Amino acid sequence: MTGPDTGEPPSSSSLSDILKQGLEREGLGHEREDRARLALLQRPRFTIRARLGLLFLALFLVSAIMASAGWLILAGVEYRLRYVTATDVFANEIQQARRYEKNFFLYRSELSEVLQHLDAADLLLRQAAEDIGPVVGFAEMTTIRAHLSRYRHSIDELIARNRQEDFSGSTDFKTLETSLRDDGSRMVSLALDISKKERAQISSLISVIQKVFILTSVFLLFLLLYVALHLSRHIISRLDRLMAATQRIATGDFSPILPQRKYRDEFSYLTIALNHMMQELEQRQDVLVESHKIRAVGNLTAGIAHELNNPLNNIMLTSEMLKEDYAKLDDEARLDMVNDLIEQAERARSIVKNLLDFVRESEVKREQLHLHNLLEETLRLAGNQIKLNKVKLELEVHPNLPPVYGDRSLLRQLFLNLLLNALDAMPTGGKLTFKASEEKEVGFLAIKVVDTGTGIPAHLLRAIFDPFFTTKPTGKGTGLGLSVSQGIARHHGGNIEVDSTPGQGTTFTVHLPFVTIPAELKVSRNSNGSSVGSI
């Protein structure tokens, strides 16, 4: 016992050690958060605002294209309408001219009327050529113009030769009549043809416009539907994720949210803020656990001081007597007394060490723990307190329980909290039972802490795990014990349940997942970080 314990940490706890451990742990939390933030920020940026902007740009472009297409087609329709009107008027003039021409051949009436109409038709053609230009029906126009000039030529010749006698019976007269009829009817039918063709064109253009409008509307509808669905799914899925994260936080899991999508958007910044908040919360939680640990020790003070006074008293009595009787005692008696001194000093040391082990271990260190040892350590720490409260203690731990994987100090604190609560519930003594058993089907261990105390009324049961909830008088309880304990259990993947009958007692059941991984493998992985197992 007196040999140098090189493997063990020094048993004296210095404040700087604790602070250093705290800082390292804090640093670790920072690092984890920083990594998550970096991962979140490293993604290319594509914000929801940008997505909305793109959507509106696309909508504008589609509408603009549709509008210009409609405008162009309408312009075409307008040209063709003017052309159709011109050809209709032209056909009308020619038909008028021909009516006078026929009258001439029937009644030999004047031909000047024909010339008037031909002039009007000619003017119309020239205007149309200027106005409409070569856009439509250029070829037909030239043909019509050729016919018109020939027709006019024939009329001019007819007027000139009509003054001659017996011209009406000559062959030239017959030829002129035929050529006039031919050119006249050709012009009319051509003009009507053009008009008919152009009308067909116009109606087909109008149907194109109708189609363009319907198609764009349908296209816009689908585009909008797709974008709305996509955006809402995008936003809702992020909200769902964040909501899940907040629920996770409520159960005490403070691991940062990691990126899942390719792009970074407004939600990424919210996630970063949440991660930061979680890191802060985790630190607060650690501080809370730590400070509550000190408080739990405070509750143990009386018992520990009492326990420490026994070896101190023994040492004092023995050393006094050794001094008093030194001369008259034989060697054997002296040695006996010195051995007593050493033994009692050792006893005092172990009391202090046990306490310090509990207070000092602030670095969270996960290892395989056997419940039997864990519970015994806890009970040793509070053993005297239990005796002082005249509480009878029973420990029922099933043999061969699988180990749990967790932090020794935190779990000891959990059981100590439950134990101290049970003692408080039994001010006039009673029986306290620790029962540990296996819930094989679910892979959990169940540790029941059963007291025969005052019990908890049903309406308070739901609130007892809330922070700052306490039934103890002001100054006696912080209301954090059970909240901290629940936090520790959740931190280990378990939870605490409570069942109570007022007047008969309360049972707290701690569920903790047990370990199924072979121990050697884990140890070797922990020691050198490689994955080489020793199995």
Summarize as ranges the residues that interact with other proteins (CB under 8 A): 302-303, 305-310, 312-318, 320-321, 324-325, 340, 344, 384, 387-388
> Of the two residues 333 and 458, which places its CB atom closer to other proteins in the complex?
333
| Contact yes or no for 402/516 (Cβ under 8 A) | yes
Residues with Cβ within 8 Å of residue 356, at least 6 apart in sequence: 11, 12, 13
- CA dist 155 and 161 (Å) reads 10
Least distance (Å) between residue 492 CB and other proteins: 33
Least distance (Å) between residue 316 CB and other proteins: 4
Give the closest residue to 94 by CA, choosing from 148, 138, 137, 142: 148
Q: What is the 3-state secondary structure (H, E, C) of 250-302?
A: HCCCCCCCCCCCCCECHHHHHHHHHHHHHHHHHHHHHHHHHHHHHHHHHHHHH
> Of the two residues 428 and 531, which places its CB atom closer to other proteins in the complex?
428
> Of the two residues 160 and 305, which places its CB atom closer to other proteins in the complex?
305
Least distance (Å) between residue 325 CB and other proteins: 7
Least distance (Å) between residue 352 CB and other proteins: 15
| Contact yes or no for 101/136 (Cβ under 8 A) | no
Least distance (Å) between residue 320 CB and other proteins: 5
Least distance (Å) between residue 435 CB and other proteins: 23
> Of the two residues 212 and 312, which places its CB atom closer to other proteins in the complex?
312
> Of the two residues 187 and 426, which places its CB atom closer to other proteins in the complex?
426
Q: How many CB atoms lie within 10 A of CB 85?
A: 13
Least distance (Å) between residue 390 CB and other proteins: 9
- CA dist 148 and 521 (Å) reads 109
| Contact yes or no for 205/73 (Cβ under 8 A) | yes
Least distance (Å) between residue 375 CB and other proteins: 21
> Of the two residues 231 and 322, which places its CB atom closer to other proteins in the complex?
322
> Of the two residues 315 and 484, which places its CB atom closer to other proteins in the complex?
315
The H or E element spanning position 367 is: strand 366-369
> Of the two residues 181 and 387, which places its CB atom closer to other proteins in the complex?
387
> Of the two residues 311 and 481, which places its CB atom closer to other proteins in the complex?
311
Task: Express the helix, strand and coil content of the chain in percent, nearest 5 each.
Answer: 70, 10, 20
Whole-angstrom Cα Rg for the chain:
53
Question: b/e for 285-295, b at 16 or more Cβ within 10 A?
Answer: bbebbbebbeb
- CA dist 271 and 268 (Å) reads 5
Cα 31-34-37 angle, rounded to 5 deg: 155
Least distance (Å) between residue 473 CB and other proteins: 18
Least distance (Å) between residue 308 CB and other proteins: 8
- CA dist 276 and 245 (Å) reads 13
> Of the two residues 85 and 313, which places its CB atom closer to other proteins in the complex?
313
